[in-house]
Amino acid sequence: MSDLLSYIGIVGFHHQHGHRLEFIYPPISNQDLGMFDWNYLNYAALPDGCHNSNEDYCFFVMNETNPTTVPSNKLYGIAYFKQKAIKDLPSEAISIDDTRSTIQKSVVVLSNFPIFYSFKTQLSSATICYFNQGDFKNTEILVNWFNNKNKQFREDNNLYLEKRKENKKPENEFTTESLQKQIIPIQSDLFFSSSSLQKFLLHFGRNSLVFFKLLMLERGVLVFCPQPVNAVCETVLSVLSLFPKSFDLFVQQNHSVCSDYHIEWSQDTDKEHLEQIRKFQLPLPIFTSKGTFCQPYLPLQHSAAIIPDTEHPTNGQKGYLVGTSNNLYLKSPPSTCHAIVDIQSGEILFRDESLHRILELTSFDRRFIDHIIDTVQEVYTNPQQTGYIGTDKWLRDQFAYYILCLLNSLSKTLRVEDGKAIIDNIDSLSTFNEFFIRKWSGSRNFHLWRNRMFKQYPNSLPHFKSLPNHPSGPPSDIIDNLQDSLVPITNSLSKVFSSFFNESPTNTPQTPNSNNNSNNNFYNASKSAVKPLVSTSKDLAKSFFNYFTQTTSTTNSTDQKDTPSVLKEQEFFEITSESSSIGVPTTTVQVEQTLEVVNQNGEEIKEDTNLKIIQEFDPDTDQFYEL
C-alpha cells in the first residue's frame, strides 16, 4: 500500500550555488535517486520570477527519466515558496551564506497521487509555520505534518479494507493479504476540493471553450503568465479537469499506484451520467504516456522537453500543454508551439493560422458557453446562493455533457465498412464546427477512442436518445435562429470559394516553422493580444477582396489550379456529406480536391478523389501506417 505523500523537502537559493535541495524527508531511496532527475525539483520548486512575489505556489510533475515500464513512474509535486527580509528574522535564522537582503525558500511535497488542489492550502499553512518559528534548521514541524498525513491515509484505507472484508459472505471470504491486492477507491473530493474553475471560466470567457477544443487537437500549447506563477499552474489543471475523468489518467499512468488505487466518482455523479461516460469509453486518451505531454510548470532549464532534436521538428512530435512564467518563451517560441495562452489578456494567440477557422465557435457553441458564463457570473457575484448550480462540479459536468453530446452525435454517423472507418453525413456535426471535426478525426486520441469503441461494440456504436445533437439545445430567439440559418450558407460558400482564395501564389501556408515576422510579436502578448475568433463573414469578405486584387497580376499563370490549399487536412478515413440545401454543391467527395492531404509526418500524399482511407492507426505500435 502506497503512502499518500512520498517526500517533503526544502529548496533554497544560494547566491553562489543557485537552487539547491537543502533538506528532504525521508532520504531519497536508491531506486528513486536513479529514476528521477532531482535537479528538476530545484528549478520547479523556485520557478522563474518567484523573487518578485513574497509568497506563491506551483504544481509540477517529475517524470521517470529512463522508463522501463508502461506506464512509467511519476511524482506529482506541490511547492509553496516564500521570502522574508533578513531584518525581520532572528539572528539564529541567518547563516554566513545569507548575503542578500531576503531569504527565499520553498517547501515541497511529492506524491504518487495528483493532490495538487487539496494540499495547496495545507502546505501554505505548514510553510508559514516553518518560517514563523525563526529557525530554518528545525524541520520537525514539517516532518510531523508529513507523518500525520500518511498515518491518516493508511488508517482510512485499512478501515475500508476491513469493512469490505466484513461485508463479504462466508463462502466468498478473502484473506487480509488478498484484500490488500484489491483496488482501493479514493474519493474525487481529494483531487478537486480547492479547485478554481469559476475564476478560470470568468477570466477566459468564450475562450475557455476554444482552449478546451484546442487540446483535443493535440497541438503544442504554451500557457504564459509572468506573475503570479500559480495562475499558470491553475490554468493548466483547470482546463485539464474539464475533460471527464481526466484525473483518472494521472493515476492510471503512474506505475507506482495504477494497480492498487482508482478514483471513486459514483458518490457525486448520477447513474445515467456515469453510464454514458462508461459506454463512451471516457476519458479521451489525450494525456497518456505516448500522447500529449502535460507539465503544469516547465522551467526554462528543461525546455528540451518541447524542443525537437531533429531537422524536421514536426515529424512525429507529440502535442503538449505546459505552463511557464519566463518571457523567453515568448521572445523565441519553440518551433513546435502552435498556440500561446496569454493569461493576463485572457486571449489565445495562434501561430498556426489554420487554427482560426478550425476553432471558431459556432452559434451553438456560443450559446452553450454563454449560458455557462451567465450562470457562473450570477452565482459568483451572489455568495449567498448555495447549491449545485454554478459550482466547480457543475462546470465540469457541463463540459462533460458537451463531450458526451459530441460523441453521441458522432456515434450515429461513424461506422465500419470493409474494415474502414467512415463518417456519414459530416454536415450533421456542423454544430460543433465541421473543420474542427475533420481535424480532430485525424488526431491520435480520436483513433484510440474509435478503436476502443469498435472493439467494445463491433456491430453498432451506442447512442442515447436523452442526449441532444448539441448541448446548447435549439435556438432561443430570432437572432439565434437567424445565425443558425446562416451556418450552412457560410459553410458552403467557404467550401466553394476556398479553392480560389487559397490558390494564389502569394498565399503561403502558415506553419509553426514559418520564418516570418509574426514570431517577434509574441513578446508583447500580454499587452496586445490578437483575437483568435474571426467571423466567417469577415474572412469571406477579406478573401473575396484579396482574390480580385491578386488575380490582376496572376491571370496569365497556368499553375494556379495545382497550387495546394492553405488548410492541410489529415484525412484518415472516408468523410461524406449531403448536398447543400441552398443549391451550392459541397465539394466533400471522400478527399476534397482543394485539400493538400498530408500524412502524420507532414509528407504530401498525391491527391486521389477516389481515396477512401489514407492511413490507419495501430495502437499496439502507436504509429500510423499507409494502407
Q: What is the pLDDT of residues 406-418, one digit of tens each?
A: 999 999 988 877 7
Give the whole-angstrom CA distance, residue 433 versus residue 357.
Answer: 9
Give the whole-angstrom CA distance, residue 491 versus residue 427.
Answer: 10
Give the whole-angstrom CA distance, residue 594 versus residue 588.
Answer: 9
The pLDDT value given to residue 479: 64
- The answer to the question of residue 124 being in a domain is yes
Give the CA angle between residues 436, 439, 444 to the nearest 5°.
125
Residue 269 C-alpha cell reads as: 455523479
Higher per-residue confidence, 332 vs 308? 332
The pLDDT value given to residue 376: 94
pLDDT at 81 over 50: yes
DSSP labels, 29-80: PHHHHHHB-HHHHHHHHS-TTGGGSSEEEEEEEEEBSS--SSS--EEEEEEE
Q: Which residues share a beta bridge with 103?
A: 84
382-390 long-range contacts, CB within 8 A, separation 24+: 390/198
149-195 pLDDT, tens digit each = 999 988 888 887 777 777 654 443 434 444 444 677 776 666 666 66
The pLDDT value given to residue 483: 64
The pLDDT value given to residue 600: 38
CB neighbours of residue 430 within 10 Å: 19
Q: How confident is the model at residue 577 (pLDDT cuts 50, 70, 90)?
A: very low
The pLDDT value given to residue 344: 93
Average pLDDT, the chain: 74
CB neighbours of residue 147 within 10 Å: 15
Q: How confident is the model at residue 593 (pLDDT cuts 50, 70, 90)?
A: very low
The pLDDT value given to residue 487: 59
The pLDDT value given to residue 573: 36
* Nearest residue to 12 (alpha-carbon basis) of 37, 46, 35, 49: 46
- The answer to the question of residue 314 being in a domain is no
CA contacts within 13 A on the Cβ side of 587: 12
**E strands along 86-135, which residues?**
102-111
- The answer to the question of residue 406 being in a domain is no
Which residue, chain included where needed, has cell 473530493? 189
Portion of the chain with pLDDT greater than 90, in percent: 37
Q: How many domains does the chain have?
A: 1
Which residue, chain included where needed, has cell 529512463? 66
pLDDT at 598 over 50: no
Residue 130 C-alpha cell reads as: 516553518
Give the whole-angstrom CA distance, residue 598 versus residue 155.
Answer: 56
- The answer to the question of residue 286 being in a domain is no
Residue 570 C-alpha cell reads as: 489529415
Give the whole-angstrom CA distance, residue 63 versus residue 489.
Answer: 49
The pLDDT value given to residue 85: 78
- The answer to the question of residue 467 being in a domain is no
- What domain range is 131 assigned to? 5-166
Give the whole-angstrom CA distance, residue 8 versus residue 81.
Answer: 13
H/E stretch holding 10: strand 5-14
Which H, E and C letters describe 406-461, residue by residue? HHHHHHHHEEEECCEEEECCHHHHHHHCHHHHHHHCCCHHHHHHHHHHHHHCCCCC
Higher per-residue confidence, 144 vs 69? 144
CA contacts within 13 A on the Cβ side of 38: 18
- The answer to the question of residue 487 being in a domain is no
- The answer to the question of residue 117 being in a domain is yes
Give the whole-angstrom CA distance, residue 297 versus residue 274.
Answer: 32
- The answer to the question of residue 66 being in a domain is yes
Please answer whether residues 48 and 299 qualify as being in contact, where contact means their C-beta atoms are separated by less than 8 angstroms: yes
What pTM was computed for the model?
Answer: 0.76
440-473 pLDDT, tens digit each = 998 999 999 999 999 999 888 888 989 999 998 6
Mean pLDDT score, 251-272: 74
Mean pLDDT score, 75-84: 92
